[in-house]
Amino acid sequence: MLPSRRAPIVTQVVVYKVGSADETFGHTGAAHFLEHMMFKGTDQVPAGEFSRIVSRNGGRDNAYTTFDSTGYHQTIAAEQLELVMRMEADRMTNVRLTEREIVPERQVILEERRMRTDNVPASLLDEAVREQLYGLHKPYAMPVIGYPDDIRNLGVEDLASFYRQHYAPNNAILIVAGDTTPERVRELGERYYGPIARREIGPRLRPAQGGTDLPQKVVRADPRVAEPRWSRLWLAPSYRVGETKYAYALQVLARLFGGSETSRLSRVLVEERKIGLSAWASYGASSLGLTSFDIGVHPARSRSIEEVEQAVTAEMKKLLDGGVTAEEVERAQNQLLAAAIYSQDSLASGPRIYGTALSTGNTVADVDAWPQRISAVTRDEVVAAARHVWRDDGAVTALLTPAARGG
């Protein structure tokens, strides 16, 4: 329960501890497909009525699937919390999965894949890069939406089995934010979710290694590409797997190296040397398995990929040689902490943060301690984290280009 009196509204989020990385090769897309089917009705709420009921009561709802979790959320007037909790509890156990509903929804999902992946060269490249980085047919390598052939072959029994295996109250997290009280949430939760029987949930397996034969290079030349892009991704520890002691330092590293317009990459490559139109670095620690540390650059017109790669390598070497100041680290820490504070203005941010943490093995205490842990990172820890991750034997270099060329 995350109280907020700023407006007379509430957001309910139910996050299931299952995502596409819990699938097996040949059955990819099941988690995302089931997310769609959760709106196809129960005996109490006919197909399509869930969202219509929420809308008629002045609210909005949606859902999402990630590698590690699947979430369903509604934002509505505070007095309607019971309504959405009753409907969410109903579809936790009573969703109707029929051939009549699955056949047209399969076409919707295939069209979604065509629009977001097959017709987007950058997405196709990213899919190929993940296969190299994490290992073909392994968790995190397979796309969340699934491969087209798997989507076509998923049937009623496949989705029903996935539903029975993973959708249960003991595999779910209930988060309510907004204008209500913990007592009210507990009362409603016990009334609607309490009677639902628990189920035996199997272990969630994630490999402790990534792809073999790294480093690798993946190039995608496509006439639809307007601007080339160079990027490099490294296998990296998360909060849960690998050298987890580096997780907080890697967040600071990503911020100071390429996380803002004042970061090293933007300052040197974009502002000073005019090599790139934009440059960035990113890292996410909230993963049940290994994660990645990413660096990327959109080259400026008339600048070559070789120039970009040499410039990035030079900036990395400066940092690895100990060229990090305490002031630089402090500025990155302050930016991270400020972003976390500003995010509290949104009623959706709190549930998202806690839902992500709790679905990937972290605790409420871990979330609450995050500011202190970020603030405690030292310059030596930032350099040590970079040395641990920036290794050739954990890297994939990716090039998106409008025409085949070297670089």
Q: Which residues contact 38 (CB under 8 A, 6 or more apart)?
A: 63, 72, 91, 95
Q: What span, in angstroms and rounded, lies between the C-alpha atoms of 2 and 150? A: 39
* Active-site residue, 35 included: yes
Kindly list the distances between the CA atom of residue 55 and the CA atoms of 12, 14, 41, 60, 347, in Å, as whole numbers in the listed order: 15, 18, 16, 6, 18
Q: Is the dihedral of CA 115, 121, 122, 125 positive or negative?
A: positive
Q: Which helix (H) or strand (E) holds 71?
A: strand 70-77
Comparing C-alpha atoms, which of 390, 386, 347, 362 is closest to residue 9?
A: 347
Options 35, 101, 315, 328, the catalytic residue: 35
3-state secondary structure of 291: strand
Rounded CA gap, 47 and 169, in Å? Answer: 23
- Classify 13 as helix, strand or coil: strand
Q: Which residues are catalytic?
A: 35
